[in-house]
Chain A
Amino acid sequence: MTYIYYPGCSLEGTAAEYSISTMALFETLGIELIELDDWTCCGATAAEGVSHLLSFALPARNLAMAEKMKAKSDILVPCSACYLNLKRVEQGIKDDHSLLRKINQVLEADDLVLKGTVRTRHLLDVLVNDVALDDIASKIVRSLEGFSIAPYYGCQCLRPYAVFDDPEAPRSMESLITVAGASVYPWDMGGRCCGASLMSTAPEAGIELVAALLEGAQGADAIVTVCPMCQMNLEAYQKKASKQHHTHYEVPILYLPQLLGLAMGLTDDQIRLDMNLCVPGSFREKLANTLQPA
Chain B
Amino acid sequence: MEPAVDTQTAAPDRSLIKKLAPARKQLLACIQCGTCSGSCPNADAMDVSPRYLWRLLLTDNAEEIFKTRTFALCSTCYTCTLRCPRGLQITDAMSLLKQVAASENLPLYKRSIRFYQSFMESVRRHGRVREMEFMTLYFMSMKNPVIPLKFTPLGMRLMAKRKVSVEIPSKGTQKLDAMFRKAREIEEQS
Q: Could you tell me which A residues sit within 8 Å of B by CB distance?
A: 9, 12-16, 39-41, 43-54, 57-58, 61, 102, 105-110, 155-156, 159-160, 167-168, 192-193, 195-198, 200-202, 204-206, 208-209, 236, 274-275, 277
Contact = CB atoms under 8 A, between A and B. Distances in A.
B178 A195 contact: no
Contact of B186 (A13, A106, A192): A106
B53 to A, nearest CB: 16
Contacts of A196: 75
Nearest to B78: A159
B187 A53 contact: yes
Nearest to A278: B157
Interface in B150-190: 154, 157-158, 161, 163-164, 175-176, 178-184, 186-187
B6 interface: no
A108 B77 contact: no
A120 B45 CA distance: 34
Main secondary structure of the interface of A (DSSP, over half): helix
Given A48-B99, A51-B99, A110 B75 contact: no
B147 to A, nearest CB: 12
B8 to A, nearest CB: 32
B101 to A, nearest CB: 9
A236 B116 CA distance: 21
A159 B77 contact: yes
Contact of A48 (B95, B113, B128, B163): B95
B186 A102 contact: yes
A126 to B, nearest CB: 22
A102 B190 CA distance: 11
Contacts of A195: 41-42, 75
A13 B164 contact: yes
A53 B161 CA distance: 36
B183 A106 contact: yes
Contacts of B161: 274-275, 277
The residue in B72, B99, B163, B164 that gathers the most chain A C-beta atoms within 10 A of its C-beta is B163
B115 interface: yes
Given A48-B95, A193-B41, A205-B45, A40 B175 contact: yes
